[in-house]
Amino acid sequence: MTKHELESTAQALVAEGKGILAADESTGTITKRLASINVESTEETRRTYRELLCTTPDMEEFISGVILFDETIRQAAQDGTPLSEVLSSKGVMPGIKPDKGAKPMAGFPGERVTEGLDGLRDRLTEYRDLGARFGKWRAVIAIGEGIPTRACIDANAHALARYAALCQEVGLVPIVEPEVLLDGDHTIERCAEVTEATLRSVYAALFEHRVVLEGTLLKPNMVLSGKDCSERAGVEEVAEATVRTLRRAVPAAVPGIVFLSGGQSPVEATEHLNAMNAMGDQPWELSFSYGRALQQPVLKAWLGDTGNVVEAQKALYHRAKLNGAARYGEYTKEMEEAA
Nearer to ligand 13P, 174 or 291 (CB): 291
Cβ atoms of residues 193 and 223 within 8 Å: no
Q: DSSP code of 221?
A: P
The end-to-end CA distance of the chain, in Å, is 41
What is the contact surface with ligand 13P in residues (CB under 6 A)?
A: 22, 138, 177, 260-262, 290-293
Cβ atoms of residues 61 and 321 within 8 Å: yes
Cβ atoms of residues 20 and 329 within 8 Å: no
The overall longest dimension of the chain from CA atoms, in Å, is 53
Radius of gyration over every alpha carbon of the chain, rounded to an integer in angstroms: 19
Nearer to ligand 13P, 26 or 306 (CB): 26
Nearer to ligand 13P, 171 or 178 (CB): 178
Per the residue annotation, which of 51, 177, 179, 271 is the catalytic one?
177
Nearest approach, Cβ of residue 177 and ligand 13P (Å): 6
Per the residue annotation, which of 18, 97, 219, 321 is the catalytic one?
219
Nearer to ligand 13P, 290 or 331 (CB): 290
Give dist(CA 81, CA 76) in Å, integer: 5
Residue 58: count of CB within 10 angstroms of its CB = 12
Nearest approach, Cβ of residue 248 and ligand 13P (Å): 23
Residue 166 CB-half CA count within 13 A: 24
Side chain identity, residue 92: V
Nearest approach, Cβ of residue 260 and ligand 13P (Å): 4
* All residues at 6 or more sequence positions from 161 whose CB lies less than 8 Å from its CB, including other chains: 202, 205, 206, 208, 209, 211
* All residues at 6 or more sequence positions from 20 whose CB lies less than 8 Å from its CB, including other chains: 13, 63, 64, 65, 66, 67, 95, 175, 258, 287, 288, 289, 290
Measured at CB, which residue is nearest to ligand 13P?
291
Nearest approach, Cβ of residue 32 and ligand 13P (Å): 12
> Where do the DSSP E strands lie in the chain?
19-23, 63-68, 93-96, 102-104, 112-114, 134-141, 173-180, 217-218, 256-259, 285-290
Residue 177 annotated as catalytic:
yes
Nearer to ligand 13P, 191 or 260 (CB): 260
Nearest approach, Cβ of residue 24 and ligand 13P (Å): 6
Nearer to ligand 13P, 1 or 34 (CB): 34
Give dist(CA 253, CA 255) in Å, integer: 6
Nearest approach, Cβ of residue 107 and ligand 13P (Å): 25
Nearest approach, Cβ of residue 80 and ligand 13P (Å): 28
Nearer to ligand 13P, 69 or 203 (CB): 69
Cβ atoms of residues 180 and 141 within 8 Å: yes
Give catalytic residue positions.
Answer: 177, 219
